[in-house]
Amino acid sequence: MVSFSGSTAVAGIGATEFSKQSGRSELRLAAEAVFAALDDAGLGPSDVDGLVTYTQDANDEIAVAREVGIGDLTFFSRVHYGGGAACGTVMHAAMAVATGVAETVVCYRAFNERSGRRYGRPDPGLGGAPSSLGLEMSWHVPHGLMTPAAWVAMFARRYMHVHGATSEDFGRVAVAMRRHAATNPAAWFHDRPITLAEHQASRWIVEPLHLLDCCQESDGAVALVVTSAERARDLRRTPALITAAAQGSGAGQMMMTSYYRDDMTGLPEMGVVGRRLWEQAGFGPEDVQTAVLYDHFTPFVLVQLEELGFCGRGEARHLVADGGIEIDGRLPVNPHGGQLGEAYIHGMNGIAEAVRQVRGTAANQVADVRNVLVTAGTGVPTSGLVLSAG
Amino acid sequence: MTAANPPAGVPDPDFHERLTALAEKRMAAGEVYGEAAADPVNLPMIRHWAAAMGDANPLHTDAEAAAAGVHGEIVAPPAMIQVWTMPGLAGPAGRPESAGSPIDDVLAALDAAGYTGVVATNCEQTYDRYLRLGERPVPATRLTGLSGPKRTALGEGYFVTWNVTWYSEGERVAEMLFRVLKFHPGERKTTPDTRQPYPLGPAVNDDTAFFWEGVARGELRIQRCADCGELRHPPGPVCPSCRSAGRTYVVASGEGEVYSYVVHHNPPIPGWETPFAVAVVQLPEGVRIVGAVVDCAPAEVGIGMPLRVTYRQKDDNLILPLWVPRET
């Protein structure tokens, strides 16, 4: 059986600045990030024969190829389910490289999510069409339950009830992320840490979520170059080997409202991803030195720690309370500041951070990193990666 | 009227002819006198009316000021003219100035034909002179117009116009033109509360129509597999347990309790006033359903709270099953 595990790598990363108003088109952002990633890898547009992005990206692969000057494409693919696509793009690219469908694949995500269409805003069209998604949304949107914060808050309330977690437990995640971002010059919230009191005083978005439980909204783009490990070793940068990559969806899965299948305190789809990752990697959570966990809303950071095996069910709040996810803790989470602190680029900036941690070039570098876990969107069908030093 | 009560929406081809003939007959009859005022024009009633209307003119209530004024005595506010001869709740048919009048059977014919809705569209009064204490005005009514059927925003209807003239001590003291629209309420396209279309209507297809049809009838329906009997919500086309596409439903008891909930504050949601609570509701039948919790402060909602379903009209086409606290 063909495997991409250990035989493929991320050879280059690139990004635009992260802002609230890029002042440029989304296609231009995509092109800039792809150029930056190719430059980082020491490759040119003519080396690229595959492109992968999210179904939610507004820039078609062919449009990006035209702007960047990429010629023939033998592989192009899209990954569905919002931010759950992030690590999935790398998995698709790795599969294409491992099977010989393509040699060099660029994954990208570009949007003006703050100055253009804001995902945190209600979209009355969500429940209007008789597609499977429209019908799914139609059990929720008519009741005014129609923003990502609201969908996640429903899980968070149940988690608090069952496990005794509090708003302060969620707040400690936000405080840790902002602490990390404060020393990351690329972060929007560089030099702007917060206190737990500020978290508690921030306004309600959807109870039990305060404003500071919700990640920021950003304009920007990130691109990644995926190729074979063998080729990557000949390029400019130290390769970040793709040790494991997985997508996951659980039984009774919905886009963001899986309220009908279990006790609502876990993330079964992330459990699927975790089991696959550890199986491919041949090791477990104890062999990961830092984790980049998707943090669009703080409660799911706790649930991910449990679902991925870093602690027992309901115990994540103790791990977080002890400073366990901070840069000097037992498992430093999101050393770049995450989406709460650096930028919300739909999880793609987290993969770039994992590559820097493996290379040893991160702003907040964790010592002796051999393996990094990365996850994608939570509460949605999702994906994950384990990247390793070569 | 014979056969005067056709089912709503079924036109009676002869109705218009018969109504018109009746109206012409009543118009030709001219003015018909009604009962004189039950009580003479009096100070206590003037005082009540002036206080209610905010009319502070002392010429109506203060004998001394009135004596020094242009009338030399207390006079009633002219706009009170209808008050003196209004039959009141115990009066005939509750129709002011119309008891035994030429408009009675015209309005009755419209009622019988399904034009049961009524809205006053015009009221124009002309005053000839002030009424003094002790006078007992007499109303006289004549039907002056019938037009229709007309399409209106409220539904199809007829405009009926009549005049009332009040006489006292042998002379005319006031006149009023009054017009109403009598309409088919079943044809109303909007109501004042739900004039705007609800912006968050659901998509409905073959797999979900039974649910929304149930809601429209005040039933909370849960899909039930016709073969293995499994209940399922949200519903779908094929039973995940036995692959049967045979579907039926049970009607839920309408009780439930909060399994989880949120209180939405920001950003604003079209069609909702913040803050509002939405819950995942556990039903005793074994399935869960999502719905807003209303008629209760969001801060009072908690996990385990007993709920009862209620049905709320969101616009002309949509009723939503919402939840209210249930006494246990």
* DSSP secondary structure letters along B206-222: TTTHHHHHHHHTT--EE
The residue in chain B having the minimum alpha-carbon distance to the alpha carbon of residue A124 is B200
Contacts of A136 in chain B (CB under 8 A): 234
Instruction: Identify the pLDDT of residue B9.
Output: 45
Q: What pLDDT is attached to residue B97?
A: 47
Residue among A129, A135, A150 whose CB faces B262 most closely:
A150
- State which residues form the domain around B295: 193-325
List pLDDT tens digits, range B37-88: 989 999 999 999 999 888 889 889 998 989 988 899 999 999 999 999 987 6
The structural domain count of chain B equals: 2
Q: From the CA of B22, how many Å to the nearest CA of chain A?
A: 50
pLDDT of residue A127: 82
Nearest to B272 among A134, A144, A203 (CB): A144
Q: How far is CA A293 from the centre of its chain?
A: 7
Residue of B nearest to A208 (CA): B262
How is residue A373 written in tokens? 């876990």
Does B209 lie in the same domain as B170? no
Residue B25 has pLDDT above 60, yes or no: yes
Domain assignment present for residue B71? The answer is no
Residues B20 and B161 in one domain: yes
Of B203, B263, B320, the CB nearest to A206: B263
Distance from CA of B185 to the nearest CA of A (A): 28
Tell if the CB–CB gap between A264 and B259 is shorter than 8 Å: yes
Considering only CB atoms, which chain B residues are within 8 Å of A259?
259-260, 280, 288, 290
CA distance B10 to chain A (A): 34
Task: Assess A297–B contact: CB distance below 8 Å, yes or no.
Answer: no
Based on the domain organization, do B93 and B177 belong to the same domain? yes
Do B162 and B267 sit in the same domain of this protein?
no
B183 shares its domain with B249 = no
Contacts of B259 in chain A (CB under 8 A): 158, 259, 264
The answer on B275 and B228 residing in a single domain is yes
Question: Would the CB atoms of B208 and A155 count as touching at under 8 Å?
Answer: no
CA distance linking residue A124 with residue A225, whole number of Å: 37
Sign of the alpha-carbon torsion through A228, A234, A235, A236:
positive
CATH number of the domain to which B20 belongs: 3.10.129.10
Task: Nearest by CB to B266, from A124, A130, A204: name it.
Answer: A204
Residues B209 and B319 in one domain: yes
Q: Which CATH architecture has domain A8-116+220-389?
A: 3-Layer(aba) Sandwich (3.40)
Collect all residues of chain A within an 8 Å Cβ-Cβ radius of residue B271. Answer: 144
Put simply, the chain A residues between 158 and 197 with a CB less than 8 A from any chain B CB are 158, 161
Confidence check on the interface: ipTM exceeds 0.95, yes or no: yes
Q: Worst-scoring range by mean pLDDT, A168-182, B1-15, B90-104, B229-243?
A: B1-15
Look at A144 and B261 and tell me if their CB atoms are within 8 Å. Answer: no
Q: Is the pLDDT of residue B8 over 60?
A: no
Q: How far apart are CA B256 and CA B323, in angstroms?
A: 9
The answer to whether position B228 is within a domain reads yes
Q: Are residues B206 and B105 in the same domain?
A: no
Residue B306 domain flag: yes
Domain assignment present for B180: yes
> Over the stretch B135-173, which tens digit does the pLDDT of each residue have?
999 999 999 999 888 888 888 899 999 999 999 988 999
Q: Note whether A136 contacts B: Cβ–Cβ < 8 A.
A: yes
Quote the pLDDT of residue B193. Answer: 52
Q: Residue B198: closest CA among chain A residues belongs to which residue?
A: A142
Residue B278: pLDDT over 50: yes
On the 0-12 / 13-18 / 19+ scale of CB atoms within 10 A, B134 is: exposed
Distance of alpha carbon A91 from alpha carbon B146, whole angstroms: 78
Task: Tell me: do B128 and B106 sit in the same domain.
Answer: yes
- Domain final position from B187, B215, B247: B187
Confidence band for B5, pLDDT divided at 50, 70 and 90: very low
Q: Identify all chain A residues contacting B208, using CB atoms and an 8 Å cutoff.
A: 135, 138
DSSP assignments along B107-176, one per residue: HHHHHHTT--EEEEEEEEEEESSPPBTT---EEEEEEEEEEEEEEETTEEEEEEEEEEEEEETTEEEEEE
pLDDT digits (tens, 9 = 90+) for A230-280: 999 999 999 999 999 999 999 999 999 999 999 999 999 999 999 999 999
Whichever domain contains B268, its CATH number is 2.40.50.840
Of A129, A140, A155, the CB nearest to B290: A140
Query: Given an 8 Å threshold on Cβ–Cβ distance, is B267 in contact with A147?
Result: yes
Q: Percent of chain A scored above 70 by pLDDT?
A: 100
User: What pLDDT is recorded for position B102?
Assistant: 83
B303·A257 Cβ contact <8 A: no
Q: List the single residue in B with minimal CA-CA distance to A157.
A: B260
Q: Around A39, how many Cα atoms within 13 Å sit in the side-chain half-sphere?
A: 9
Residue B90, pLDDT score? 56
- How large is the average pLDDT for residues A205-233? 98
Does B31 share its domain with B174?
yes
* CB distance B211 to B235 below 8 Å: yes
| Two tokens, residue A220 | 């920007």
pLDDT score of B98: 47
Best of B200, B289, B303 to disrupt the A interface by mutation (most A CBs within 10 Å)? Answer: B200
pLDDT for B152 equals 82
Percent of chain A's residues with pLDDT above 90? 97
Are B156 and B29 part of one and the same domain? yes
> What does DSSP assign to residue A366?
P
List the structure tokens of A181. Answer: 């971002």
Residue ranges of the domains in chain A? 8-116+220-389
Query: Residue A100 has which token pair?
Result: 């010989």
Distance CA A277, CA A383 (A): 10
Chain B residues whose CB is inside 8 A of the A257 CB are 290
| Secondary structure class of A143 (helix, strand, coil) | helix
Query: In angstroms, what separates the C-alpha of A278 from chain B's closest C-alpha?
Result: 30
Chain B: closest CA distance from residue A159 (Å)? 9
In angstroms, the separation between the Cα of residue A301 and the nearest Cα of chain B is: 19
Residue-level pLDDT at B100: 63
Q: Is residue B245 classed exposed, middle or buried when 0-12, 13-18 and 19+ CB atoms within 10 A define those classes?
A: exposed
The structure tokens 């909204």 sit at A217
Any idea which residues of A carry the catalytic annotation?
Answer: 294, 344
Q: Using CB atoms, which residue from B266, B271, B289 is nearest to A203?
A: B266
Which of A270, A210, A279 lies closest to A244, judged by CA? A279
How buried is B185 (Cβ within 10 angstroms: 0-12 exposed, 13-18 middle, 19+ buried)?
middle
Q: How far is A227 from chain B (nearest CA, A)?
A: 41
Mean pLDDT of chain A: 97
Residue B194: which pLDDT band, with cuts at 50, 70 and 90? Answer: very low
The whole-number average pLDDT for the span B310-322 is: 95
Residue A260: which of B272, B288, B291 has the nearest Cβ? B288
Whole-number pLDDT of residue B271: 94
Residues of B in contact with A134 (CB under 8 A): 203
Contact across the interface for B265 and A203, Cβ inside 8 Å: yes
Question: Which of B140, B159, B187 is a domain's end point?
Answer: B187
Residue B262, in any domain of the structure: yes
Residue of B nearest to A264 (CA): B260
pLDDT, tens digit (0-9, with 9 covering 90-100), for A11-36: 999 999 999 999 999 999 999 999 99
Would you call B278 and A154 a contact, using CB atoms and an 8 Å cutoff?
yes
Smallest Cβ–Cβ distance between B320 and the set A142, A146, A203 belongs to A142
Q: Which residue of B has its CA nearest to A126?
A: B200
The two most distant CA atoms of chain A are separated, in Å, by 56
How, if at all, do strands A104-112 and A50-54 pair?
parallel
pLDDT of residue B34: 87
Asked if residue B110 and residue B80 are part of one domain, the reply reads yes
Determine the distance from the C-alpha atom of residue A115 to the mean position of all C-alpha atoms in its chain, rounded to a whole number.
21
The answer to whether the Cβ–Cβ distance between B264 and A120 falls below 8 Å is no
Percent of chain B with pLDDT over 70: 89
Mean pLDDT of B213-224: 97
CB contact under 8 A, A208 and B271: no
B320 contacts in chain A (CB < 8 Å): 142-143
Interface of A with B in 250-279 (CB under 8 A): 257, 259-260, 264
What is the 3 state secondary structure string of A171-221? HHHHHHHHHHHHCCCCCCCCCCCCCHHHHHHCCEEEECEEHHHECCCCEEE
Under a CB-based contact definition with an 8 Å cutoff, are residues B37 and B85 in contact? yes
Residue at a domain's end among B187, B220, B252: B187
Instruction: Check residue B1 and give its pLDDT.
Output: 39
* DSSP one-letter code for B273: P
